[in-house]
Chains A and B, each alone.
Chain A
Amino acid sequence: MFANRKIENIEQEVMEAVSLARKQQPLLNAMVSFMEVDEAISEAKNSNGKMAGLPIVLKDNVLTKGVRTTGSVQILDNYIGAYDATITKKLKDAGAVIIGKSALDGLGMGGTGTNCHTGFVHNPYDLNRMAGGSSVGSAVLVASGAVAFAIGSDTGDSVRKPASFVGIVGVKPTYGRISRYGIIPYASSLDHVGYFTRSVEDAALALEVLAGRDDKDMTSSTREVEDYLANLNGDLRGKKIGILKNVIDAIKKDQTLALFNELIEKCVNAGATVHMINMDQTRLQACLPVYYIIANSEATANHSNLDGVRFGMQEWGDSLEELMTNSRTKGFSFLLRKRFVIGSYSLADENQDLLLRKAQKVRRLLVEDYKTALSDIDVLIAPASGDVAPLLTDTSADQLSARYLIAENHMVLGNFSGYPSMTIPMGKIDGLPIGINITAKPFEEQVMFDIALGMENLTGCKNMTAEVNV
């Protein structure tokens, strides 16, 4: 916890975090680079910021000036950040001490933590399991107790899914609430800066630090940043909680449903009203393909800057064209190249009507559905995943089953719509955590935090860390 707590011995707290992260590294493989902290510590000592002295971690797609920023791809393996991302500046200004950059599925593309340039990342609750993705390293370092706060980014559910798998809080606020300037993108219209904490109070405080208009990001909002922590109120009386029924219906695991129903019952007892919400099933099943087409199309264009000409890895050729081709061929994994091909195909003039434009139309319809679903309630909830974290060896997920299409992909609605959405732990199944997802109306982060706090009080799942035997 760092909300309402002044860090007295900054040096000690930071060095403990560094030492723990270093000790855990051989087991978890969550960190890409450790940063020099001496200067940051002395600056933090003079800081009155909301995170003064707090050791934190950034996902390695967040630009840090003068510090290696790889995005977890070969082509940026030697890239030194040319500038600080807006949130890097904000966190430094708040007195935070960045101890390192964490692993991610390359360029944020992936949800398993197994497509990182630095190798698999392991779940601290069971080293044989995944911790989700793409913000896997940040999630793992918060869950392992190394740091109490870490930055992630969320394009499909890349903060909220790993948060579920490692029993922590993962927040993705409204699109435009946090500046994206200096985040290596995945898909611009879906990308959100998100973050991890171990309590709702910390999550509320963190948004005060991160949010706000940035003239360098034209999509950032001019709305005033609220005092989320001071206004935080966990009283559930009169709160209208909607349950996304399609997701419940798609979940086959009884223990997940049991945990979920138990929490709902407690919410009702605490004075909330519960409403079953049904969305159009056919359209919901389109979430994944729509996401794939839009995300890959935007990603293909977004990453055309990685050509080996001006920075990053350069693979020589006899002409500039050859140099670019060689750099990109060697610089990206097979999986990333595959996504670029899909994106490029969807963007091709003869395919755009059938693929990208159609996907954008379906996205609009889904957002309309979602808006209607939320119109008479405060938040919409559902389990953040159908089951606990899969084994690292598990590649058998049937990707076209309803279970997979809806139970595992509904959180992408938060990215389509830009609505604020977060995951908090709801309990454990056989010692492995699983989370619940809470989504609110645009810019109603306060409502979302309030209900999350109410639920956190009911589950008692707060400040959870895994025992990692180092």
Chain B
Amino acid sequence: MSFEVIIGIEIHCELKTKTKMFSGAPVSFGNLPNTCVNEIDLGHPGTLPSLNKRAVELAITASELMNCEVDRLIRFDRKNYYYSDLPKGFQITQQFHPIGRGGYVDIDVDGVSKRIGINRLHMEEDTAKQFHHGDVTWIDFNRAGTPLVEIVSEPDIRSGKEAAAFVEKMKSLLEFGDISDVKMEEGSLRCDVNISLRPYGFEGYGTKVEIKNLNSVNNVQRAVEAEIVRQTEIYLKGESVVQSTRRYDETTRKTVLMRKKEGTVDYKYFPEPNIPPVLISDEFYSRVISQLPKTAQQRKDAYINQLGLSDYDASILTSGKDLSDYFDAIVGFGAPSKGTANWLISEVLSVASLRSDKKFADWIQPQHMADLLIMVSEGKISGKQAKEVFLDMINGESPKDIVAKKGMAQVSDEGQLLSWVTEILNNNAQSIEDYKNGKDRALGFLVGQVMKLSKGKANPAMTSELLVQELSKR
């Protein structure tokens, strides 16, 4: 017997702003603890919040990308609870009037498209980060006040695959929208999955279990699948699922109980009195709308339709924003798009995965990549030489310098090539005879000899042509 799976996902995503949601302190990742804080982030007496305009722009952008209706009157509320990671004793959030409502995104699972509803998208501030070491708790307030958007899906998701596809889609939209770094492993995108089962045809909902702290898309799928198995077994035994919060254990590949949920916490929400409602002007709104960044899908379509790339190549190039940006930059410097795509997918990506560094532009400037690919396309160096040059370019040297230093530039001068061809033919009577006897291999051997003599500089195509021409004369 199997059950229908009901899944809703909540995503918390840190916004890419320079400063915090309600203070002028810098947003940081990886800075020394408690260095990116001011009196507002620490909840000192008398401090007041000032709304970050950029965060509002990003929240509008995210709402638009997720097809939400945008509430042009921005309002905030207080969510009250005491916890040592919450300096003010309340979090400023948008409980009653989220900026985005009623949207959707389309996901693709096994070639089938499915629409997932977005219930709401709202702005709020992050808490501090706590580290527990035995009896001691350390608190780093750098994260306190970092701008967040929380995105809540409708319970439209029905499987682990769909859940993973949804999170992947959100990551892509938020990354290409320049809204967030979406690094799940670093916590800049966090995802909580709510999952319950019910018999097919049943109208109500089963008891909901929340899975927290999922640190990768793969784990979203695995956790959901493990939880479906667990809940199914419980129901089949005639027992009931306990409302609880669980986490996914990667080693056992099972979900583990964190805490039971007993009743709901009363957060005593009320409108934030220190932030008057802010009306987004037509001008501000239109400016944000007119500057909406292209989604991965839009970029992919352009690669296929305008640059003539294959669906496969375009998909890989738009799998991450860094790669797509890098490709655009290289092509922008005049490199041929098809050649660039091939190079990025075969050479650059394999080096990137070895280095586990996808900030491509940091280790090879797009201008250098373009120069290299243009030299290849113009026949100035061979593909084999290009690979050698490429490895040296990682040290920051320009391909032109490397080619010059190594004396690699191809010789395409017919006079020079002819003199090498003549010299080789004069010294290889046997090969001429073999060629005349129909042994094709002989031509390859002769080309190789010319390449050797020229220290690899001879243009291989021209060399081959000249050899055929000269052989016919002998």
Q: Which residues of A contact B (CB under 8 A)?
A: 61-63, 69, 71, 76, 79, 82-83, 85, 180-185, 187-189, 215-219, 297-298, 300-301, 303-307, 309-311, 320-321, 324, 344, 347-350, 352, 356
| Chief secondary structure at chain B's binding surface | loop
In whole angstroms, what is the CA distance A62 to B46 when docked?
A: 8
The 9 closest A-B pairs by CB, nearest first: A304-B89, A347-B268, A305-B43, A188-B273, A189-B273, A320-B84, A184-B45, A182-B46, A349-B266
4 extra interchain contacts, Cβ-Cβ under 8 A, other than A182-B47, A216-B48?
A309-B87, A347-B80, A350-B266, A352-B268
Residues of A contacting B276 in the complex (Cβ-Cβ under 8 angstroms):
218-219
Indicate if the CB atoms of A218 and B45 lie closer than 8 Å. no
- Separation in Å of the B363 CB from the closest CB of chain A? 41
A to B CB contacts below 8 Å, 30 in the list:
A63-B46, A71-B45, A76-B45, A82-B39, A82-B44, A181-B48, A182-B46, A183-B46, A184-B46, A185-B45, A217-B48, A218-B276, A219-B274, A301-B78, A301-B90, A301-B270, A304-B80, A305-B43, A305-B45, A305-B88, A306-B45, A307-B82, A309-B87, A309-B139, A310-B42, A311-B42, A320-B84, A324-B84, A347-B270, A352-B270
Q: How far is the CA of A215 from the CA of B51 in the complex (A)?
A: 10
In the complex, chain A residues whose CB is within 8 Å of the CB of B84: 307, 309, 320-321, 324
Contact count A vs B, C-beta below 8 Å: 98
- Whether a CB of chain A sits under 8 angstroms from the CB of B430 is no
The 0/1 profile, CB within 8 Å of A marked 1, for residues 87-120 of chain B is 1111000000000000000000000000000000
A347–B267 Cα distance when bound, in Å, is: 9
The CA-CA distance from A118 to B210 in the complex, in Å, is 50
With a cutoff of 8 Å between Cβ atoms, the chain A residues found around residue B51 in the complex are: 218
Knowing A69-B45, A83-B44, A301-B80 are in contact, say whether A307-B270 is a contact too (CB < 8 A).
no
Of all chain A residues, the one with the shortest Cβ separation from B24 is A216
Known: A180-B48, A304-B82. Is A218-B270 also a contact (CB below 8 A)? no
Closest-CB distance, B134 to chain A (whole angstroms)? 13
Q: Is the CB of A85 within 8 A of B46?
A: yes
Neighbouring B residues of A188 by C-beta, 8 Å: 273-274
Bound CA span A71–B44, Å: 12
Min Cβ gap B309→A in Å is: 48
Contact partner of B46 among A185, A187, A350, CB < 8 A?
A: A185
Q: Once the chains are docked, how many angstroms separate the CA of A161 from the CA of B49?
A: 30
Chain B residues within 8 Å of A298, by CB: 273
A62 CA / B45 CA spacing, docked (Å): 9
Report the minimal beta-carbon distance from B34 to chain A, rounded to whole angstroms: 10
Q: How large is the interface on B (under 10, 10 to 19, 20 to 34, 35 or more residues)?
A: 20 to 34
Looking at A63, A218, A303, which has the most chain B CB atoms within 10 Å of its CB? A218
Q: Are B48 and A218 in contact (CB under 8 A)?
A: yes
Chain A nearest CB, measured from B471 CB (Å): 83
Collect the chain A residues with CB atoms within 8 Å of residue B46's CB.
61-63, 85, 180-185
> For residue A303, which residues in chain B have a CB less than 8 angstroms away from its CB?
89
Q: Which residues of B contact A356 (CB under 8 A)?
A: 270
Cβ of A190 to closest chain B Cβ, rounded Å: 9
Any A CB within 8 A of the CB of B137: yes
A189 and B273 CA atoms in complex are apart in Å by 6
In the complex, what residues of B have CB within 8 A of residue A79's CB?
45
CB–CB A218/B90 < 8 A: no
Max count, chain B CB within 10 A of own CB: residue among A298, A305, A344: A305
Which residue in A216, A309, A320, A324 is a CB contact (below 8 Å) of B50?
A216
Cβ-defined contact, B50 with A215, below 8 A:
yes
Q: Which residues of A contact B49 (CB under 8 A)?
A: 218
Is residue B275 within 8 Å, beta carbon to beta carbon, of the partner chain?
yes
**Nearest CB in chain B: distance from A356 CB, A:** 6
Let me know if B44 and A218 touch, CB within 8 A. Answer: no
CA distance A218 to B39 in the complex (A): 17
| Across-interface contacts of B42 in A (CB, < 8 A) | 82, 310-311
Expressed in whole angstroms, the Cα–Cα distance for A350 and B45 within the complex equals 29
For A218, the chain B residues whose CB sits under 8 A away are 48-51, 274-276
Chain B residue numbers with a CB within 8 Å of A61 are 46
Q: How far is the CA of A440 from the CA of B137 in the complex (A)?
A: 54
Closest chain A residue to B132, Cβ basis:
A320
Chain A residues, CB < 8 A from B273: 187-189, 298
Q: Closest CB of chain B to A341's CB: distance in Å?
A: 13
B residues less than 8 Å from A349 (CB atoms):
266, 268
Give complex CA distance A61, B275 in Å. 21
A82 partner residues in chain B, CB cutoff 8 A: 39, 42, 44
Among A79, A311, A350, A356, the most chain B Cβ lie within 10 Å of the Cβ of A311
